[in-house]
Amino acid sequence: MSNDPSRQFDVLFEAVPIGPVTSKNRFYQTPHGNGCGFRDPSAMIEMRRVKAAGGWGVVCTEQTEIHPSSDMSPFIEMRAWGPEDRPVLGKVVEAIHEHGALAAIELSHSGLNTANLSTRLEPLGPAHLPVTTEDLEPIQARAMTLRDIRHLRQWQRRAALDARDVGFDLVYVYAGLFLSLPHQFLSRRYNTRSDEYGGSLANRARLLCELVEETKAAVGDRCAVPVRITLDEHLGPDMDTLEELFDVIGRLPDLFDVVIGGMNSGSGSARFEQDDHGRNEAILRRVKACTPAPVVSVGFVRSPPEMARLIRDGVVDFIGAARPSIADPFLPRKIESGRSSEIRPCIACNICVASDYSSAPVRCTQNPTFSEEWRRGWHPEEVPRRHAEMTLAVVGAGPAGMECARVLGRRGYDVRLYEASTELGGRVAKEALLPGLQRWIAVRDYRAAEFARLGNVEVRRASRVSAESLLTEPSANGRPRHIVIATGARWRRDGVGRHRDRPLTVGAGARILTPDDLPVVSPLLGRVLIYDDDHYYLGSVLAEVLARTAASVTYVTPVAEVAAWTHRTMEQRETQRRLLDLGVHIVPHRILSRVDAGGAELQCIFTGRISEMDQDSVVLVTARLPEDALAAELDRERDRWSDAGVHGVTVIGDARAPGQIVHAVFSGHAMARTFPDHDGALDHFERREMTP
Ligand code: ADP
Ligand code: SF4
Per-residue pLDDT of 79-119, as tens digits, reads 999 999 999 999 999 999 999 999 999 999 999 999 999 99
- Displacement of CA 261 from its chain's centroid (Å): 18
Nearest CA to ligand 2 atom 5: 364
Residues 6+ apart with CB under 8 A from 559: 535, 588, 589
Spacing, Cα 487 to ligand 1 middle (Å): 3
Spacing, Cα 628 to ligand 1 middle (Å): 10
Please state, in angstroms and rounded to a whole number, the distance separating the CA atoms of residues 331 and 340. Answer: 8
Point out the ligand nearest to the CA of residue 405: 1
pLDDT of residue 344: 97
- For a ligand 2 pocket test, name from 51, 351, 372, 428 the mutation site with the most ligand atoms within 8 angstroms of its C-beta: 351
CB 160 within 8 Å of CB 218 = yes
pLDDT of residue 523: 63
Nearest CA to ligand 1 atom 14: 426
**Which ligand 1 atom lies nearest to the CA of residue 658?**
3
- Residue 462 CB coordination number (10 Å): 10
Point out the ligand nearest to the CA of residue 651: 1
pLDDT of residue 126: 97
431 lines ligand 1 (CB under 6 A): no
326 lines ligand 2 (CB under 6 A): yes
Look at residues 304, 386, 381, 377 and name the one whose alpha carbon lies nearest to residue 341.
304
CB 4 within 8 Å of CB 44 = no
Spacing, Cα 249 to ligand 2 middle (Å): 33
**Which ligand 1 atom lies nearest to the CA of residue 630?**
23
626 lines ligand 1 (CB under 6 A): no
Please state, in angstroms and rounded to a whole number, the distance separating the CA atoms of residues 404 and 482. Answer: 13
Spacing, Cα 331 to ligand 2 middle (Å): 14
**Which ligand 1 atom lies nearest to the CA of residue 653?**
3
CA atoms in the 13 A half-sphere facing the CB of 466: 3
Element (H, E) at 48: helix 41-53
350 lines ligand 2 (CB under 6 A): yes
Spacing, Cα 38 to ligand 2 middle (Å): 22
pLDDT of residue 476: 65
**pTM of whole model > 0.75?**
yes
Pairing of strands 140-143, 129-130: antiparallel
Spacing, Cα 276 to ligand 2 middle (Å): 20
Please state, in angstroms and rounded to a whole number, the distance separating the CA atoms of residues 488 and 651. Answer: 10
pLDDT of residue 267: 73
Q: List, for the chain, all residue ranges whose pLDDT scores fall below the cut of 50.
A: none
- Residue 622 CB coordination number (10 Å): 24
322 lines ligand 2 (CB under 6 A): no
Spacing, Cα 659 to ligand 1 middle (Å): 14
CB 405 within 8 Å of CB 415 = yes
Spacing, Cα 192 to ligand 2 middle (Å): 38
What single string gives the DSSP state of each residue in 570-591? T-HHHHHHHHHHTT-EEE-SEE
Look at residues 534, 518, 544, 496 and name the one whose alpha carbon lies nearest to residue 617.
518
Spacing, Cα 543 to ligand 2 middle (Å): 24
At residue 622, what is the residue type? T
With 0-12 CB in 10 A as exposed, 13-18 as middle and 19+ as buried, what is 131? buried
Pairing of strands 599-604, 590-596: antiparallel
